[in-house]
Amino acid sequence: MNITRIRPLPRRDGTTPALPSTRAAVMSLRPDIPMLCLRPAKACREAARFVAAFPGHVLYAVKCNPDEAVLRALAAGGIRHFDAASISEVRLVRRLFPDAHIHFMHPVKARSAIREAYAQHGVRDFVLDSPEELAKIVEETGHARDLRLMVRMALAKGEARLDLSGKFGAPAQTTVALLRDCAAVAKTGLAFHVGSQCCDPTAWERALAQADTIIRTAGIDLDVLDVGGGFPVSYPDMRPPPLGAFMAAIRRGVARMALPAGCTLWCEPGRALVAACQSLVVQVQGRRGDMLFINDGVYGTLSDAGALGFCYPCRLIKAAGASHGALHPFGFYGPTCDSLDRMEGPFPLPDDIAEGDWIEIGQMGAYGACLRTEFNGFDHILRVEVGEPATGHAMEHKTTDHRAA
Ligand SMILES: *Cc1c(COP(=O)(O)O)cnc(C)c1O
């Protein structure tokens, strides 16, 4: 992918200048290609908050945002464990953090990936959801005696925005058999994933009740219970309960179980740690009624705004003059020639928005830039680091935000 990273120039005395605001970055660069605005301090704070709230190890799900600056910011916030799903993610984390714990949490892995992760990167934790994968891991690690094998159990389809139960996870009976087989050769854990952007804390309580039955039936000494990811963030059309409600539900669910004294809890958040640390600035290149043609779309950073219909918070950055428009619901067309490159929103923006204006789209740190493609030649993107806004939520609409500085 074609990313131009723009760093603040060091001052003459060698000190680094304060990071610019998004508006200042837009006004100096006047970008006509999409511009990612990264707030490393925000990622660091969210990581610290999550690590403090969760009663166990917090594994960051690397796929959600593998940007090196984001990974470093999360590590600065206290993340020491990483959930990797491919050998490239394993290599990336190992290169950046020689001492980090890497957990290979994809239930169906390439044999070469298992071999390399074990032999070259010190990975000892592998997830599986089938007897075939168990055999593969045992073979490719040379019957290693120092493994921790995690069995992923299936959950019934829940309330999450993105259901993940269809593809991975063993049914209850298979999970019981796999736990016993794993316990015969390794330390053993149980994992589940309630689905991404799951706004219902009781989903974890129900999953934990299901896990409890399975663990009792298997009759094994469980080393790790992994409650997965899926912790939600706020979008304009979705205001989930605060993080504390999810932590309380997990504590309640765990308290009802009879876990062995030494059993450790893990979780695997992606979205919750990084959604807020990145925004995206797009430019309006044409307007047709309520539809704005913008320079990024579903084949670029805005994949989830397409078929999945995610609404993101938006604010106008006028190219010239001040905006006096009232908010109006707009939809977006992306830059490619494909008619699927369309985002319904609604994205409320001042009704005097015009060609040449910019829109800052918030909550773009999760499943944004990492899903970009090169389709139709719209592959180039700028990336800047920006300072955090002084107050409140970066993207809540405030009338003053629409005035040109
Ligand atoms: C994607 C994924 C995660 C992260 O999910 P979020 O919804 O971003 O928290 C965690 N674990 C597994 C196994 C995943 O596939």
The residue ranges of every structural domain in the chain are 2-38+275-404, 40-274
CA distance linking residue 102 with residue 182, whole number of Å: 19
Ligand 1, pocket-test mutation among 46, 70, 83, 165, most atoms within 8 A of CB: 83
User: 159: pLDDT confidence band, cut at 50, 70 and 90?
Assistant: low
Q: What is the pLDDT of residue 218?
A: 97
CA distance linking residue 109 with residue 118, whole number of Å: 13
Residue nearest to atom 5 of ligand 1 (CA): 229
The whole-number average pLDDT for the span 307-313 is: 94
Residue 271 scores a pLDDT above 90: yes
Q: What is the pLDDT of residue 393?
A: 44
Residue 400 scores a pLDDT above 50: no
CA distance linking residue 189 with residue 392, whole number of Å: 40
The per-residue pLDDT for range 367-379, each reduced to its tens digit, is: 999 999 999 999 9
The whole-number average pLDDT for the span 337-353 is: 96
270 touches ligand 1 (CB under 6 Å): yes
CB 290 within 8 A of CB 327: no
Of 285, 299, 282, give the one whose Cα is nearest residue 374. 299
- CA of residue 150 to ligand 1 center, whole Å: 15
The per-residue pLDDT for range 85-96, each reduced to its tens digit, is: 999 999 999 999
61 touches ligand 1 (CB under 6 Å): yes
* Dihedrals phi, psi of 97, to nearest 5 degrees: -130, 90
How does strand 35-38 pair with strand 278-288? antiparallel
Q: Give residue for tokens 């740190």.
A: 365
Handedness of CA 186, 187, 190, 195 (dihedral sign): negative
Residue 117 in tokens:
């992760």
The whole-number average pLDDT for the span 171-182 is: 97
- CA of residue 405 to ligand 1 center, whole Å: 39
Greater confidence (366 vs 162) lies with 366
- CA of residue 278 to ligand 1 center, whole Å: 18
Q: What is the pLDDT of residue 402?
A: 37
345 touches ligand 1 (CB under 6 Å): no
Ligand 1, pocket-test mutation among 193, 197, 199, most atoms within 8 A of CB: 193
The whole-number average pLDDT for the span 45-54 is: 98
94 touches ligand 1 (CB under 6 Å): no
105 touches ligand 1 (CB under 6 Å): yes
Residue 204 in tokens:
């974890």
Residue 298 scores a pLDDT above 50: yes
63 touches ligand 1 (CB under 6 Å): yes
Tell me which CATH homologous superfamily contains domain 40-274: Alanine racemase (3.20.20.10)
Residue 283 scores a pLDDT above 80: yes
Q: What atom in ligand 1 is closest to the CA of residue 195?
A: 7
User: 310: pLDDT confidence band, cut at 50, 70 and 90?
Assistant: very high
Rg (CA), the chain: 23
Q: What is the pLDDT of residue 158?
A: 66
The per-residue pLDDT for range 99-140, each reduced to its tens digit, is: 999 999 999 999 999 999 999 999 999 999 999 999 999 999
CB 334 within 8 A of CB 296: yes
Residue 84 scores a pLDDT above 50: yes
Tell me which CATH homologous superfamily contains domain 2-38+275-404: Lyase, Ornithine Decarboxylase; Chain A, domain 1 (2.40.37.10)
User: 165: pLDDT confidence band, cut at 50, 70 and 90?
Assistant: low
Beta strands in 197-277 (DSSP E): 224-226, 264-267
Q: What atom in ligand 1 is closest to the CA of residue 164?
A: 15
Q: What is the pLDDT of residue 142?
A: 97
Average pLDDT, the chain: 93
Strand partners for 101: 81
